[in-house]
Structure 1
Amino acid sequence: MRPAPIRTQRQDGFTLIEVLITIFVTAVGLLTVAGLQAASKKVNFETAQRTSATALAQDMVERMRANPGAKSSYLTSDATTVASATGCAAASAACSSTDLAAYDVYQWGQRLLGAEERDAGNNSTGGLVNPTGCITYNSTSKVYRVVVAWRGYSAVPISTSSSDPASDTCGTGLSRYTDPLTSGANDLLRRLIVVEFI
């Protein structure tokens, strides 16, 4: 009887090169996901800022419509710098329509800054990033314009068309919206919401 022939089995498995390629492909995939996550957070933050700015602009429009006799008293170049006004929130407060307008502008400026939203350490947690609130009146077209400006993440070109609402000058020249990645003073990081009404 002959002994059975010995079969040599070939080793099957991963070589070091295959393992390295797998690690490289996985790393590239994870870095891509991390980049998408960061971009998504920026977009979500910009969207939240725009939503807040829209609500705040509309809030001021409604306040002005509720006090039509004092619309001209609402005009301001920056509501965030308005000094404290007579409190007109209490039912017993004796405020004229002009007092109410001053109070509304002050309150609006505080809301833009997020002064009403505080954490446990009494730090402001709401509002917009470097906001500016402007209210203007065009005597030719008889249109009031409520503008909310804030600081965005990335630079955008500045509109030069006078018919474009983005060409509004609210917040320009304050160094709040200068892009540090470009030279000189500019307003490339300025974002705007513009609401016009009669």
Structure 2
Amino acid sequence: MAYLPSPFLSIPTHAHKRQRGFSLMEVLISILIITFGMFGVAKLQLNALRDVQNAHYASKAASFATQMAEQITTNKTALAHYQLAANQQVSASVNCSATSCSSANIAKYDLQLWQQKIANALPFGQAEIIATAHTAKIIVRWDQNRDGSSGLNCPKKDNNDLECTRISRVLW
């Protein structure tokens, strides 16, 4: 019986040639993978920049709160005049850097300058001071995401609340 070769067993002549270079499909897939990798790196960079900015805001807020605590400690006889409700704007009637002032006027002047610093340094920055007989609770808030948040819970309870830093100072 004669054995006939199967067409599936025959090796085409072009298969013996060695492939050189890359096919277009391999190049396109490589470019696609590199593109996704670069988008990932860009996203990581943006997240890092946002986190650095948020840390800067938190550091500024803590500095402002500590600064006011020191001013209250220095002028503790006027503790009641440092009372400041959230969203309340203070306007001092006297410039205490140029003239002699009472402790109450110094408190109002300190608050006015302090509020201006917070408003200039933090996005939608605001402050609150709750003064009781011997303590002052100082809260500095800001809209970190600039999304119109307005909640006053500190610490934050939901996304509507502003970011905040708070400290308490016992005066005597």
TM-score by shorter chain over 0.5: yes
Contact 1:147 1:195 in 2 (8 A): yes
Counterpart residue number, 2:142: 150
Whether 1:133 aligns to 2:141 is no
Q: 1-side partners of 2:30 and 2:22: how far apart?
A: 10
The question of 1:191 aligning with 2:163 is answered: yes
Q: Name the TM-score, length of structure 2 as normaliser.
A: 0.78
Number of the residue aligned with 2:85: 77
Amino acid at match of 1:196: S
Deviation for aligned residue 1:154: 8.9
Instruction: Determine the structure 2 residue equivalent to 1:101.
Output: 107
Q: Is contact 2:82-2:108 (8 Å) kept?
A: yes
Cα 1:19–1:189 change in 2 (3 A) is: farther
Q: Aligned pair in 2 of structure 1 residues 52, 159: CA closer, same or farther (>3 Å)?
A: closer
Are the counterparts in 2 of residues 80 and 106 from structure 1 also a CA contact under 8 Å?
Answer: no
Matches within 5 A, 1:48-127: 48-78=56-86, 81-90=89-98, 93-114=99-120, 127=121
Unmatched runs of 5 consecutive residues or more in structure 1 = 1-7, 115-126, 169-185
Q: Take 2:156 and 2:132, find their aligned partners in 1: how far apart are those partners?
A: 15
Q: Is the 8 A contact 1:79 1:109 kept in 2?
A: no
Compare CA radii of gyration and give the structure with the larger one: 2
Corresponding residue of 2:155: 166
Q: Please give the secondary structure, in 2, of the residue aligned with 1:39.
A: helix
- The gaps in structure 2 that reach 5 residues or longer are 1-15
Aligned residue among 20, 24, 31 for 2:28: 20
2:156 & 2:37 partners in 1: Cα distance?
A: 41
Q: Give the Cα–Cα distance (whole angstroms) in 1 for the partners of residues 135 and 167 of structure 2.
A: 10
Query: How much has 1:189 moved relative to structure 2?
Result: 4.3
Q: Which has the higher helix share?
A: 2
Does the CA-based 8 Å contact 2:128-2:138 persist in structure 1? yes
How many positions carry a matched residue from both structures? Answer: 153
Give distance in 2, aligned partners of 1:71 and 1:189.
Answer: 28
Distance of 1:55 and 1:95 partners within structure 2 = 26
For 2:9, the equivalent position in structure 1 comes to none
Conserved 8 A contact 2:84-2:128:
yes
Instruction: State, as a whole percentage, how many aligned pairs show the same letter.
Output: 24
